């Protein structure tokens, strides 16, 4: 065995400076958990690089020492850290520079440790925004983490996911080589086109859970900041009609953001003073953007017709104006009584959702008594990702109750397994969801993935165990 923590620390210190390396137990414990209820995974050493070169050297050192690397962005994941123990945690959040805003190619290149809110802040100064502008956790979640998880969220109704705005990457491969993908791989070209030579190499690293390389820079599309916006809120007695309305609005490609709230959230927001929500089963909330008042009013009128034709009753747009004027600030991330939360986001075709959601209640029925006893609650809100609905099935519990936490982990896993069987496509996977999803991708497809992993990462250094690789 080549490695001992002491010479590993010394090696890493020589790369990034001793100030940014720590094997202290207090530091390591603070990196041992993400935002999920999963138990801690304690690494041997934490390192905070500032540059691609430093990341490459760290990766090379990990190969020499044969120790795993866990790459950490905002640490806001809800899926548990990779399996196993020990190794190096790379904290990417020192790498937050906006490298270039290229107005000619309408792109921004940034280091991947920058979070979505910070990137948006910097772009707004120049009058731009990315079309998809981050997951709801984007106040901490990094663009690197978003790409590794193929994130959906803000802007997804109109512009899709992070994959749809990605033009290229700079990646440190698992043996320490650095590559660029897209037109950035051509030394004579701007970083403006995703395809240029061969297949979509950028796509290889989207949703890869960080197992194929450490993303160090990303080039994303930008658009002029949409100065005009309007909002619409509609209540529905019938979920099928609400979904039909959302579907028809999506055919016209109108709103930037859509949220569907179900009874529990409607009651919660209604009680908090959001008009028209307290006693309704379903409500649909639209955020429409544009560049002139006329443009957004016209789009709103079209959406309005569709919503009303499908039985929607317009109410004051308190919820969407509150939520979308304050991006990233609200998630259903703390319960009304201060409970902890967990969820699993995934995609189902919009019109399939009414049938799909029935499965949760079948699963929850099994736990009804226990949920009541342990004060475990279940709420649902969905966002729209182009042709899909992306439900967040939120479970709340009091985290100081260890037994409740264990029941939540069990219920959560049961829900995920049933969702998968009902055609759900999860995208942030990590350990808990990833190992369940992976079981459904067998045969030549999984062999193909494994072949790529083994070829790129023969020592199985990067995020080992994720995607069951």
Which positions lie near other proteins, rule CB under 8 A?
Answer: 19-20, 22, 24-27, 29-31, 33-35, 46, 48, 74-76, 91, 93-94, 96, 115, 117-118, 120-121, 124, 137, 139-141, 325-326, 328-331, 333-334, 336-338, 340-341, 398-400
Residue 61 CB, nearest distance to other proteins (Å)?
Answer: 19
**What's the closest the beta carbon of residue 99 comes to other proteins, in angstroms?**
17
Q: How far is the CB of 78 from other proteins (least distance, A)?
A: 10
Q: Report the residue number, 139 or 196, with the smaller CB distance to other proteins.
A: 139
Smaller CB separation from other proteins, 281 or 336: 336
Judged by beta carbon, residue 65 or residue 397, the one nearer other proteins is: 397
Instruction: Compute the distance between CA of residue 461 and CA of residue 73 in angstroms, rounded to an integer.
Output: 17
The least CB distance from residue 20 to other proteins, in Å, is: 6
Considering the complex, state which of residue 199 and residue 338 has its C-beta at the smaller distance from other proteins: 338
According to DSSP, the β-strands at 88-91 and 69-72 are parallel
Angle of helix 239-252 versus helix 293-309 axis, rounded to 10: 150
What does the block give as tokens for 248? 């028809």
> Between residues 121 and 197, which has the closer beta carbon with respect to other proteins?
121
When the beta carbons of 93 and 105 are compared against other proteins, the nearer one is: 93
Q: Minimum distance from CB of 145 to other proteins (Å)?
A: 11
Least distance from other proteins to the Cβ atom of residue 118, Å: 5
> Up-side HSE of residue 175: CA atoms within 13 Å toward CB?
8
Nearest by Cα to 229 from 171, 300, 179: 300
Give 96 or 415: the residue with its C-beta nearer to other proteins. Answer: 96
Comparison of 352 and 399: residue with beta carbon closer to other proteins:
399
CA separation (Å) from 253 to 63, 385, 466?
A: 47, 11, 35
Q: Which of residues 137 and 202 has its CB atom nearest to other proteins in the complex?
A: 137
Give the whole-angstrom CA distance, residue 42 versus residue 52. 25
């Amino acid at each position: 065995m080549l490695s001992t923590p002491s010479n590993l620390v010394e090696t890493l210190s020589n790369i990034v400076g001793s100030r940014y390396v720590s094997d202290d137990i207090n530091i390591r414990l603070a990196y041992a958990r993400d935002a999920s209820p999963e138990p801690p995974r304690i690494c041997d050493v934490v390192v905070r690089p500032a540059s691609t070169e430093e990341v490459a050297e760290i990766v090379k050192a990990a190969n020499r020492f044969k120790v795993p690397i866990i790459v950490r962005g905002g640490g806001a994941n809800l899926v548990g850290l990779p399996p196993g123990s020990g190794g190096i945690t790379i904290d990417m959040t020192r790498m937050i520079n906006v490298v270039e805003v290229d107005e000619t190619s309408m792109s921004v290149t940034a280091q991947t440790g920058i979070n979505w809110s910070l990137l948006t802040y910097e772009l707004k100064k120049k009058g731009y925004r990315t079309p998809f502008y981050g997951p709801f956790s984007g106040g901490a979640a990094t663009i690197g983490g978003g790409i590794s998880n193929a994130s959906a969220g803000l802007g997804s109704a109109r512009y899709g996911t992070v994959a749809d705005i990605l033009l290229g990457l700079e990646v440190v491969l698992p043996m320490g080589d650095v590559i660029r993908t897209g037109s950035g791989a051509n030394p004579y070209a701007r970083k403006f086109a995703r395809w240029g030579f061969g297949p979509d190499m950028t796509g290889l690293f989207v949703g890869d859970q960080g197992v194929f390389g450490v993303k160090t820079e990303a080039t994303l599309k930008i658009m002029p900041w949409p100065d005009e916006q309007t909002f619409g809120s509609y209540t529905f007695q019938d979920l099928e009609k609400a979904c039909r309305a959302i579907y028809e609005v999506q055919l016209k490609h109108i709103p930037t953001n859509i949220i569907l709230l179900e009874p529990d959230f409607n009651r919660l927001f209604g009680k908090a003073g959001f008009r028209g929500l307290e006693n309704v089963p379903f409500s649909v909330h639209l955020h429409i953007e544009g560049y002139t008042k006329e443009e957004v009013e016209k789009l709103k009128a079209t959406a309005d017709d569709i919503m009303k034709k499908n039985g929607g009753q317009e109410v004051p747009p308190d919820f969407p104006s509150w939520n979308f004027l304050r991006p990233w600030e609200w998630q259903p991330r703390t319960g009304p009584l201060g409970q902890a939360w967990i969820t699993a986001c995934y995609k189902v075709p919009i019109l399939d959702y009414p049938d799909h959601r029935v499965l949760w209640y079948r699963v929850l029925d099994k736990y009804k008594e226990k949920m009541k006893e342990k004060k475990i609650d279940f709420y649902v809100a969905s966002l729209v990702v182009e042709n899909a609905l992306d439900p967040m099935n939120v479970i709340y519990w009091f985290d100081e109750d260890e037994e409740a936490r264990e029941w939540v982990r069990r219920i959560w896993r049961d829900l995920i397994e049933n969702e998968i069987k009902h055609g759900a496509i999860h995208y942030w996977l990590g350990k808990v969801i990833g190992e369940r999803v992976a079981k459904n991708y067998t045969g030549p497809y999984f062999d193909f993935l494994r072949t790529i992993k083994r070829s790129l990462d023969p020592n199985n250094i990067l995020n080992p165990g994720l995607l069951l690789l």
